[in-house]
């Protein structure tokens, strides 16, 4: 007999290997019955083949990267393709090193005409050297039954097995049988499924890997089409964030069109981004852009959370999309064609610039061109029209063009008519000058303009960000035109220098049939000349990676977005391909419309909806306390039903008991995370977090200590904050009431 203290580890022969290899199964004594070779021998043999193949692929990738990095530097498309290949190989190597054989999530036994077949599901696809399939990528259509099969609809499965990995060993597994054939010596049945068993595990500072336990209702949403806006509505603990993240990884793999533009993932706050940081890399996806809404605007990237408007009326006004029209009016205010003639002196004669010439030049930019980008177009149209109208035999066009461009009078008039605009300055002027705001937003009442007035016009709040974003979209980068002009000047200088060198080479070549002459004037001469351009000498344009456009946008906690903030997002996804994740009952400022009404108001169409109604995270005991807290303010709140109980009742105590409660819990639990909400007094243990209801959204903790929840306020905002805070708990909730 094996000693009870020793893990049950089977040694299984790999039929394709010449010798015995150690098993990947390291099952503890509590589940020793699952170590029967009849149950795990086939898995062990297959996983050994995966391990061997991974070693081969890792070696091949390492060799390929050495060869790519050592290759001579190339230019243009060749350089781009080389860099992309290095990125792809490095990403795959990093993923293989991150997981190893535990890339395998489990297996399913599929019924077929020729008999049953075991199909192993992985984070990536993998085949051996002969092309035999070892792992099916979880995002592939062939893997869908592994996640979607239910007893009501087995989708052709006989059985399904999910693994639990720890230190790259299988420490447990769970079998589900859909057909009596799967019971014959090939299944170890449990009272709990793999998913339910995972819910009781202790939390960590990072979101746990849950790919192997994705449920059928969640998988259906993950794999849904991205052609139209999709709303994923669900209460606390229903797995909305899990669905959102896995959908991002799935869409990047399954819908190739999303590769052109990529995916933007919006989270509610920085602690949330830190919490989910490992999820997408663990799914083999490192190309999704992840940020908060504030990160979309340069002024919002300072690091600390921006304050909200203190005045409720100012917050309402700036959240309304109509104020974006005032920003557009402010930009147009700086585009006014002169109404008087202008006389420009040249060495030949005075050139008269008629108002009609200005008007025609102002119409030259294509619709939608930003103000600062259009400025160059207007200038070129103005100069071109003046040269065409005034050049003749006595006034050479090139010299006239140069004279007009160098004219101080014409330059001053142009700067006054179409100045370079700073987007932040456009918005700041609205708050600094009531008369200017009256011109740009004539619909505002006097008291509304007064509440928007600000002594420090650039003391930005979170409600300013959509206005700043609109201003930047309308004006363009103020440095963009300057950089383009510098780039054009450097390019011209490079071309002139290159041509001069070529002329000198050819002048020194007496033999017109020589290799030099053929090299620069033969069939391949255009490519050779292009290669001589020094691209490193050209100034680089500062493109904003978060400006878009993106092929798809996913936004979590979307119930909090104002109409103005929705405009920020829709500007980045012209296709309206979005996944919108949220819970109307968790909207701090109320959400009395339906999702369809709200989204149609901001301009979305053909909206699809999916609901998640089962609370997997929050125990019954906690929900029994949280449900009355939200229904007091929102009687029709969609409160999800908990799927499990923790056996730990909600406790009530006083704020003075806080440190003792935390110390006792930490002493009784070797792992897990506690969170204090409503009291930021420090506590000397790294496993204790401090959050507000706002910064706790999207997160989960084993223990939540909620301090003085009545201080969160009355009405919808206070009720939502209490509801959100309570439902962060996965095991235990303690409420500290000041009145006790």
Query: Is it the case that residue 87 has pLDDT exceeding 60?
Result: yes
177-217 per-position pLDDT tens digit? 888 876 766 667 765 555 555 555 555 566 777 787 888 88
Q: Are residues 565 and 664 in the same domain?
A: no
Query: Is it the case that residue 343 has pLDDT exceeding 60?
Result: yes
Q: Are residues 548 and 592 in the same domain?
A: yes
Mean pLDDT of the region 702-717 = 93
Query: Is it the case that residue 525 has pLDDT exceeding 60?
Result: no
Q: Please check if 461 is assigned to a binding site.
A: no
- Percent of the chain scored above 70 by pLDDT? 84
**738 by DSSP, 3-state: which?**
coil
**d(Cα 437, Cα 424) in Å, to the nearest integer?**
15
How many domains is the chain partitioned into structurally? 4
- What are the helix (H) ranges across 584-657? 595-601, 620-631
Report pLDDT for 115. Answer: 77
The residue that leads in pLDDT, 622 or 519, is 622
* CATH number of the domain residue 730 falls in: 3.40.50.300
Report pLDDT for 17. Answer: 40
- Domain-embedded: residue 187: no
**Lowest mean per-residue pLDDT among 313-327, 433-447, 530-544, 599-613:** 530-544
Closest CA to 205 of 279, 306, 263, 264: 279
What is the token pair recorded at 555?
Answer: 């936004």
**Domain-terminating residue out of 603, 633, 653:** 603
Q: What is the DSSP letter of 300?
A: G
Interhelix angle 371-390/397-405, rounded to 10 degrees, is 140
Name beta bridge partners: 488. none
Q: Are residues 101 and 169 in the same domain?
A: yes
The residue that leads in pLDDT, 415 or 214, is 415
The CA-CA-CA angle for residues 136, 172, 672, to 5°, reads: 105
Query: Which structural domain range is residue 646 located in?
Result: 620-736
**Lowest mean per-residue pLDDT among 73-87, 403-417, 435-449:** 73-87
Report pLDDT for 540. Answer: 43
- Domain-embedded: residue 496: no
Q: Please check if 522 is assigned to a binding site.
A: no
Q: What is the DSSP letter of 185?
A: S
Query: Is it the case that residue 97 has pLDDT exceeding 60?
Result: yes
Q: Are residues 670 and 728 in the same domain?
A: yes
**Lowest mean per-residue pLDDT among 110-124, 135-149, 445-459, 689-703:** 110-124
Report pLDDT for 211. Answer: 82
State the residue for tokens 């070693």.
55
**341 by DSSP, 3-state: which?**
coil
Predicted TM-score (pTM) of this structure: 0.82
Q: Please check if 739 is assigned to a binding site.
A: no
Q: Are residues 86 and 156 in the same domain?
A: yes
**117 by DSSP, 3-state: which?**
strand
Decide: 478 and 372 in contact? Cβ < 8 Å.
yes
- Domain-embedded: residue 490: no
Q: Are residues 259 and 357 in the same domain?
A: no
Q: Are residues 371 and 449 in the same domain?
A: yes
- Domain-embedded: residue 372: yes
Mean pLDDT of the region 216-224 = 92
Q: Please check if 238 is assigned to a binding site.
A: yes
**d(Cα 298, Cα 302) in Å, to the nearest integer?**
8
Report pLDDT for 536. Answer: 45
Name beta bridge partners: 122. 104, 137
Q: Please check if 235 is assigned to a binding site.
A: yes
- Domain-embedded: residue 412: yes
- Domain-embedded: residue 128: yes
**Domain-terminating residue out of 560, 576, 603:** 603
Report pLDDT for 116. Answer: 85
Q: Please check if 125 is assigned to a binding site.
A: no
| φ, ψ at 555 (rounded to 5°) | -125, 125
- Domain-embedded: residue 333: yes
347-376 per-position pLDDT tens digit? 888 889 999 999 999 999 999 899 999 999
Query: Is it the case that residue 538 has pLDDT exceeding 80?
Result: no
Provide the sign of the torsion angle of the four alpha carbons 691, 692, 693, 696, taken in this order: negative
Q: Are residues 138 and 258 in the same domain?
A: no
Q: Please check if 300 is assigned to a binding site.
A: no
Closest CA to 327 of 184, 255, 427, 457: 427
Decide: 680 and 689 in contact? Cβ < 8 Å.
no
Decide: 317 and 378 in contact? Cβ < 8 Å.
no
Mean pLDDT of the region 369-388 = 93
Query: Is it the case that residue 279 has pLDDT exceeding 70?
Result: yes
Q: Are residues 63 and 177 in the same domain?
A: yes
Query: Is it the case that residue 727 has pLDDT exceeding 90?
Result: yes
Q: Are residues 346 and 298 in the same domain?
A: no
Beta-strand runs (E) in 213-329 = 230-234, 263-267, 289-292
Q: Are residues 566 and 641 in the same domain?
A: no
**Domain-terminating residue out of 425, 452, 475:** 475
- Domain-embedded: residue 385: yes
587-600 per-position pLDDT tens digit? 998 888 999 999 99
Report pLDDT for 9. Answer: 40
Q: Are residues 276 and 250 in the same domain?
A: yes
Q: Please check if 236 is assigned to a binding site.
A: yes
């Amino acid at each position: 007999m094996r000693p009870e203290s020793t893990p049950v580890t089977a040694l299984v022969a790999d039929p394709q290997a010449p010798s015995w290899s150690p098993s990947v199964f390291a099952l503890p004594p509590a589940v020793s019955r699952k170590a029967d070779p009849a149950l795990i021998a086939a898995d062990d043999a297959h996983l050994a083949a995966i391990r061997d193949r991974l070693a081969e692929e890792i070696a091949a990738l390492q060799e390929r990267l050495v060869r790519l990095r050592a290759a001579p530097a190339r230019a243009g498309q060749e350089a781009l393709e080389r860099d992309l290949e290095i990125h792809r190989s490095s990403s795959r190597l990093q993923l293989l090193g991150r997981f190893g054989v535990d890339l395998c999530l489990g297996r399913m036994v599929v019924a077929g005409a020729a008999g049953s077949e075991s199909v192993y599901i992985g984070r990536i696809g993998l085949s051996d050297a002969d092309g035999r399939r070892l792992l099916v990528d979880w995002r592939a259509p062939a893997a869908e039954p592994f996640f979607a099969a239910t007893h009501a609809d087995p989708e052709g499965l006989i059985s399904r097995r999910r693994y639990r990995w720890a230190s790259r060993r299988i420490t447990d597994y769970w079998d589900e049988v859909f057909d009596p054939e799967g019971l014959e010596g090939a299944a170890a049945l449990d009272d709990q499924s793999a998913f339910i068993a995972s819910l009781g595990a202790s939390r960590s500072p990072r979101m746990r890997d849950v790919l192997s336990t994705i449920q059928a209702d969640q998988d259906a949403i993950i794999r849904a089409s991205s052609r139209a806006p999709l709303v994923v509505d669900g209460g606390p603990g229903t797995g909305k964030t899990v669905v959102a993240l896995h959908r991002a990884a799935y869409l990047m793999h399954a819908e190739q069109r999303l590769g052109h533009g990529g995916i933007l993932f919006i989270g509610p706050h920085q602690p949330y981004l830190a919490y989910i940081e490992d999820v997408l890399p663990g799914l083999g996806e490192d190309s999704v852009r992840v940020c908060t809404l504030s990160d979309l605007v340069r002024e919002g990237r300072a690091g600390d959370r921006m304050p909200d408007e203190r005045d409720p009326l100012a917050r309402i006004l700036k959240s309304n999309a109509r104020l974006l029209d005032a920003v557009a009016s402010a930009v147009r205010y700086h585009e006014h064609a002169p109404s008087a003639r202008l006389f420009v002196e040249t060495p030949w004669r005075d050139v008269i610039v008629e108002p009609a010439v200005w008007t025609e030049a102002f119409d030259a930019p294509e619709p939608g061109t930003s103000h600062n980008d259009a400025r160059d177009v207007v200038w070129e149209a103005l100069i071109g029209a003046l040269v065409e109208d005034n050049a003749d035999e006595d006034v050479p066009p090139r010299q006239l063009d140069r004279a007009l461009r160098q004219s101080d009078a014409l330059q001053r008039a142009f700067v006054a008519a179409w100045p370079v605009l700073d987007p932040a300055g456009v918005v700041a002027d609205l708050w600094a000058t009531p008369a200017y705001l009256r011109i740009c937003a004539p619909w505002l009442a006097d008291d509304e303009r007064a509440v928007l007035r600000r002594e420090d016009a650039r003391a930005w709040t979170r409600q300013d960000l959509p206005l700043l974003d609109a201003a930047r979209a309308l004006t363009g980068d103020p440095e963009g035109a300057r950089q383009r002009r510098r780039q054009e000047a450097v390019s011209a200088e490079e071309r002139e220098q290159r041509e001069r060198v070529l002329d000198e080479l050819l002048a020194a070549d007496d033999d017109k049939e020589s290799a030099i002459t053929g090299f620069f004037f033969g069939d391949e001469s255009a490519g050779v000349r292009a290669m001589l351009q020094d691209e490193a000498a050209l100034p680089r344009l500062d493109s904003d990676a978060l400006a878009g456009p993106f092929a798809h946008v996913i936004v979590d906690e979307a119930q909090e977005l104002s109409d103005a903030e929705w405009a920020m997002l829709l500007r980045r996804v012209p296709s309206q391909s979005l996944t919108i994740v949220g819970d109307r009952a968790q909207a701090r400022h109320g959400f009395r419309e339906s999702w369809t009404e709200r989204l149609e108001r901001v301009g979305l169409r053909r909206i699809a909806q999916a609901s998640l109604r089962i609370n997997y995270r929050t125990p019954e005991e906690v929900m029994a306390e949280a449900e009355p807290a939200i229904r007091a303010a929102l009687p029709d709140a969609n409160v999800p039903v908990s799927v499990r109980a923790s056996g730990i009742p909600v406790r009530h105590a006083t704020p003075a008991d806080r440190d003792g409660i935390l110390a006792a819990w930490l002493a009784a639990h070797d792992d897990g995370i506690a969170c204090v909400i409503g009291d930021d007094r420090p506590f000397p243990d790294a496993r204790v977090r401090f959050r507000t209801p706002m910064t706790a959204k999207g997160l989960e903790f084993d223990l939540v200590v909620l301090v003085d929840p009545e201080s969160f306020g009355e009405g919808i905002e206070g009720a939502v904050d209490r509801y959100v805070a309570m439902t962060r708990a996965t095991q235990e909730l303690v409420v500290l009431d000041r009145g006790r």
